Structure formats: C-alpha cells, structure tokens
C-alpha cells in the first residue's frame, strides 16, 4: 500500500474587536511546502472561498481596504492511500489580539467523491455554525 503525505498551511484572514460579531473573513491563498503541489493548494483555496460564500459567510479574497473581522487559520495534511486522498487538519478562528476564539478539527468525508470539496465544505459548515452563534 502506497502512502504519501503532503502538508499545507493557510490563513483565511479576518480581525474582530473583543466581543464584536464576526461578519467578514479574508481568504489568503494556501501555500504548499512542495512546489509541484501548489496547483492543488490553489484548488483547495478556491473551493474554501466557494463553500464559505455558499454557506453565507462574507469572504474577501484579495488584499483590499475592506474591513475584516477575524483570522481563520487552516492547517491541513493530504494523505494518499492507494487511489484515495484523505484531507484533515485543525481550523482556528483568531481575534485581533491573537486569541483563539474558536477551534475544531476538520476532515473530508470518507465516502466523498472529492476529498478537497468535502474538506472545504466541512470547514465552511463548521465556520458557519460557529458564526451563527454570534448573531
């Protein structure tokens, strides 16, 4: 059985004052530590943006003067087992003071047709569930 592991990290950016509700998140591109895997990291970044927006999260992609409210930090690992990929990693929402205000572990669904889509969707669902408690 062939097992290959790739490790990626990402910042999905946003900054709130303590006690303020989180409305907008900025998404920075995921960066691969392996140059040949960067297109895959770019694909997951795009899927994260799409799934967050589809779940009602206000997302800013580029560096602009638009006000943002929190930093969502995503680290994940891609493991190839045979012909299947598994993606998992910790997700943390960080306020403007650098305090972790929410955290969870996320992984793709084992029976998903696309590990990257499933991972992005699961991140978006968990972020949206947390943000809905802030309303």
pLDDT digits (tens, 9 = 90+) for 19-70: 457 778 877 677 777 888 889 888 988 998 899 899 888 888 766 677 777 7
User: Which carries the bigger pLDDT value, residue 58 or residue 71?
Assistant: 58
pLDDT number for residue 123: 92
pLDDT number for residue 104: 95
In this predicted structure, the answer to whether residue 1 has a pLDDT above a threshold of 70 is no
In angstroms, the Cα distances linking 127 to 15, 34, 84, 104, 115 are 15, 27, 26, 9, 18
CA angle 80, 89, 122 (to 5 degrees): 95
pLDDT number for residue 15: 38
SS3 4: strand
pLDDT band, very low/low/confident/very high, at 17 (cuts 50, 70, 90):
very low
Calpha distance 128→100 (Å, rounded) = 16
Indicate which CATH number applies to the domain containing 42: 3.30.160
pTM here is: 0.79
The whole domain housing 62 covers 3-133
> Do 94 and 71 form a contact (C-beta atoms < 8 A)?
yes
Give the start-end residues of each E strand in 50-134: 58-60, 71-81, 84-94, 100-107
User: Which carries the bigger pLDDT value, residue 20 or residue 112?
Assistant: 112
| Average model confidence (pLDDT) across the chain | 79
**% of residues, the chain, pLDDT over 70:** 81
Q: How many domains does the chain have?
A: 1
70-95 mean pLDDT: 84
pLDDT number for residue 98: 77
User: Which carries the bigger pLDDT value, residue 16 or residue 110?
Assistant: 110
């Amino acid at each position: 059985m062939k097992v290959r592991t790739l490790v990626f990290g990402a910042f999905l950016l946003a900054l709130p004052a303590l006690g303020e509700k989180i409305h907008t998140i900025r998404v920075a591109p995921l960066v691969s530590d392996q140059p040949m895997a960067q297109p895959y990291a770019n694909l997951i970044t795009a899927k994260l943006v799409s799934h967050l927006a589809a779940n009602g999260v206000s997302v800013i992609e580029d560096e602009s003067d638009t006000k943002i409210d929190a930093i969502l930090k995503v680290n994940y690992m891609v493991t190839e087992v045979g012909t299947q990929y598994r993606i998992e990693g910790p997700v943390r929402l960080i306020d403007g003071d650098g305090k972790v205000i929410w955290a969870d572990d996320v992984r793709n669904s084992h029976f998903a047709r696309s590990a990257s889509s499933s991972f992005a969707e699961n991140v978006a669902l968990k972020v949206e569930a947390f943000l809905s408690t802030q309303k």
